[in-house]
């Protein structure tokens, strides 16, 4: 990367991000909570248990977390240096390195590569960054067929939806849904046995693997010292996507570079354990350049697109810690909010606690107003994150930014100002809370439940337990007597 390119990347923002449906968060959350099928699927979803078992198998998992966080911090501290090194090493080995400042840039670069190579069909391994830019739509608008090959992504593509989890994209679908989809799209007899459904997908995808002109993958990491992409999958589709078609394009975020292969080995000790509860994933593919003379497999042309899309705007700010994310999904697997509402309620590519931090940073705080508030701040996410991202703290900071920029409703801002005024006057605070506790008790009546709080949506879907009538201070004073 030249220095001028570095500057351009560093100065860019996500101004071109697709418009976000995130303002509809409350409506979407409500829809999920009242959807019996989603609620059943979320109840059956338990990667938290698998993680706990896998973490328990190693004695020093907390040390591994600390080491992984240090590796990611080292990478972010000198991001420009490692990216330039990656570009140098990858170019020397025959890879074409592209820099995409915006989401439109991703689509433009991929469409150009596809056109230049007369591509008719593309197979895709999982790439969340391509979801950010709606790459499939851009390619299909040019008449190129795109087939997702990760099983979950394939199901989502057939149903015309977006992923609801970063590692389990079809988690909201049940076996009956998938049986209907395959029957409808494959024109085969309807079956509900999971092994048979998997074998059917495998058969159909095989044909696409063998006939595609181009493969698109994500890249969990970029390795600076070797100029390699580092891809972690459980289904082997990543390996076929990167080696079978004559052209391969890897798309990844600018923050995903790691200095060395040894650094990647350190991250791998926490990634699969945190994600799916495996000690290691089934496939780890390290791809370095196109096919060389004498190689039996590999693409004739190899491209890597390194995407900013709002990421560098977080560098050097109080949001930088979030760039350590290795997309394991553990934070959402342990989040009580995600566990109830599922991923689609978050309205953009990344759900759960990390989505509530990344989305406002990538596409703008004003387009994701509810997300930093979509958390109880219980810190389960912070406790399990393998790279020690302080997610609750980051969400609290985003709430502060919303308040400072006047992005919250005036009633909320006024309420907080009044509370802050009273909290700084202990005598006044004691008097007001005493009054509120008594009033709350009276409002609750014999049922001890408040059915309607004026100007507050909290009681629209449930009652609020009435206070007992005495404040904490009063109870504390009574116990000391």
Q: Residues interacting with ligand SF4, by CB under 6 A?
A: 274, 325-331, 354, 384-387, 389
Task: Please report where in the chains the tokens 């930014």 appear, as a residue.
Answer: 401
The least CB distance from residue 379 to ligand SF4, in Å, is: 12
245/386 with CB nearer ligand SF4: 386
CA atoms within 13 A on the CB side of 244: 24
User: At a CB cut-off of 8 Å and minimum separation 6, what does 23 contact?
Assistant: 347, 367, 368, 369, 370
Please report how close the Cβ of residue 460 comes to ligand SF4 at its closest, in angstroms: 30
**Interatomic CA distance for residues 445 and 111, integer angstroms:** 66
For ligand SF4, which is the closer residue by CB, 48 or 430?
Answer: 48
Minimum distance from CB of 272 to ligand SF4 (Å)? 12
Residue (299 or 329) nearer to ligand SF4, CB: 329
Nearest-approach distance from CB 325 to ligand SF4, in angstroms: 3
How far is the CA of 333 from the CAs of 44, 175, 455, in angstroms?
12, 21, 33
Nearest-approach distance from CB 406 to ligand SF4, in angstroms: 29
Q: Which two tokens stand for residue 53?
A: 């078992």
Whose CA is closest to 354, among 331, 374, 324, 370? 331
Residue 8 CB, nearest distance to ligand SF4 (Å)?
27
Q: Which is nearer to ligand SF4, 12 or 274 (CB)?
A: 274
Nearest residue (CB) to ligand SF4, 280 versus 439: 280
Smallest distance from the beta carbon of 258 to ligand SF4, in angstroms? Answer: 14
Residue with smaller CB distance to ligand SF4, 138 or 363 = 363
Nearest to 88 by CA among 256, 218, 224: 224
Q: 122 or 331: whose CB is closer to ligand SF4?
A: 331
CA 199 to chain centre: 29
Q: Which is nearer to ligand SF4, 151 or 331 (CB)?
A: 331
Number of Cβ within a 10 Å radius of residue 476 = 10
Q: Tell me the closest approach of the beta carbon of residue 75 to ligand SF4, in angstroms.
A: 14
Q: How far is the CB of 305 from ligand SF4 (least distance, A)?
A: 21
Contact 251, 127 (CB under 8 A): yes
Contact 348, 402 (CB under 8 A): no
What length does the chain have?
481
* b/e code 263-277 from CB counts within 10 Å (16+ = b): bbebbbbbbbbbbbb
Taking the complex as a whole, the smallest distance from the CB of residue 331 to ligand SF4 amounts, in Å, to: 3
Cβ-proximal residues to 471 (8 Å cutoff; 6+ apart), any chain = 430, 433, 434, 437
Q: Strand runs (DSSP E) across 129-211, as ranges?
A: 145-148
Q: Which is nearer to ligand SF4, 336 or 465 (CB)?
A: 336
Q: How far is the CB of 326 from ligand SF4 (least distance, A)?
A: 5
Residue 239, helix vs strand vs coil: helix
Identify which of 334, 228, 324, 323 has the alpha carbon closest to the alpha carbon of residue 275: 334
* Residue/partner pairs of 297-300 with CB below 8 Å, 24 or more apart: 297/243, 297/244, 298/243, 299/215, 299/242, 299/243, 299/245, 299/246, 299/247, 299/248, 300/246, 300/247
CB of residue 330 to ligand SF4, shortest distance in Å:
4
For ligand SF4, which is the closer residue by CB, 329 or 372?
329
312 DSSP 8-state letter: G
HSE (side-chain half, CA atoms, 13 Å) at 446:
0
Helices (H) and strands (E) in the chain, counts: 22, 12
Output 249 or 385, the one with its CB closest to ligand SF4: 385
Given the complex with ligand SF4, which of 123 and 398 has the nearer CB atom? 398
């Amino acid at each position: 990367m030249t220095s001028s390119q570095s500057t351009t990347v560093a100065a860019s923002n996500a101004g071109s991000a697709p418009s976000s449906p995130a303002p509809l968060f409350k409506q979407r959350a409500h829809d999920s909570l009242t959807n019996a099928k989603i609620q059943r699927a979320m109840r059956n979803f338990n990667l938290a248990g698998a993680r706990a078992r896998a973490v328990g198998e190693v004695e020093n998992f907390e040390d591994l977390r600390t080491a992984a966080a240090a590796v990611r911090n080292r990478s972010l501290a000198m991001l420009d240096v490692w990216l330039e090194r990656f570009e140098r090493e990858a170019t020397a080995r025959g890879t074409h390195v592209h820099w995409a400042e915006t989401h439109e840039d991703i689509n433009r670069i991929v469409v150009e590569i596809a056109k230049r190579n007369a591509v008719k069909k593309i197979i895709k391994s999982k790439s969340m960054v391509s979801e950010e830019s709606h790459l499939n739509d851009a390619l299909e608008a040019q008449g190129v067929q795109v087939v997702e090959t990760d099983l979950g992504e394939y199901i989502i593509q057939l149903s015309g939806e977006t992923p609801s989890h970063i590692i389990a994209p079809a988690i909201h679908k049940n076996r009956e849904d998938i049986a209907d989809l395959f029957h409808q799209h494959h024109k085969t007899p309807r079956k509900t046995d999971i092994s048979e459904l998997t074998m059917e997908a495998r058969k159909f995808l095989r044909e696409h693997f063998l006939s595609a002109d181009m493969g698109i993958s994500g890249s969990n990491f970029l390795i600076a010292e070797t100029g390699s992409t580092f891809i972690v999958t459980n289904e082997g589709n990543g390996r076929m996507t990167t080696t079978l078609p004559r052209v391969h394009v890897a798309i990844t975020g600018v923050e995903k570079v790691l200095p060395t292969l040894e650094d990647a080995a350190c991250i791998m000790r926490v990634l699969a354990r945190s994600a799916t509860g495996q000690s290691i994933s089934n496939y780890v593919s390290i791809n370095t350049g196109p096919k060389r003379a004498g190689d039996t497999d590999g693409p004739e042309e190899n491209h890597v697109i390194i995407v900013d899309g709002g990421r560098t705007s977080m560098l050097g700010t109080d949001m930088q810690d979030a760039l350590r994310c290795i997309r394991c999904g553990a934070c959402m697997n342990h989040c009580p909010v995600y566990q109830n509402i599922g991923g689609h309620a978050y309205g953009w590519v990344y759900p759960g606690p990390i989505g509530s931090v990344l989305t406002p940073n990538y596409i703008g705080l004003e387009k994701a107003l509810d997300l930093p508030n979509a958390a109880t701040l219980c810190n389960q996410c912070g406790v399990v994150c393998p790279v020690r991202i302080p997610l609750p703290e980051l969400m609290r900071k985003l709430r502060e930014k919303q308040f400072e920029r006047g992005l919250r409703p005036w009633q909320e801002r006024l309420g907080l100002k009044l509370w802050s005024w009273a909290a700084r006057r202990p005598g006044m605070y004691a008097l007001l809370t005493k009054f509120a506790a008594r009033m709350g008790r009276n409002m609750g009546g014999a049922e001890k439940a408040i059915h309607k709080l004026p100007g507050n949506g909290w009681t629209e879907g449930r009652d609020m337990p009435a206070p007992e009538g005495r404040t904490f201070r009063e109870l504390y004073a009574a116990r000391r007597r």
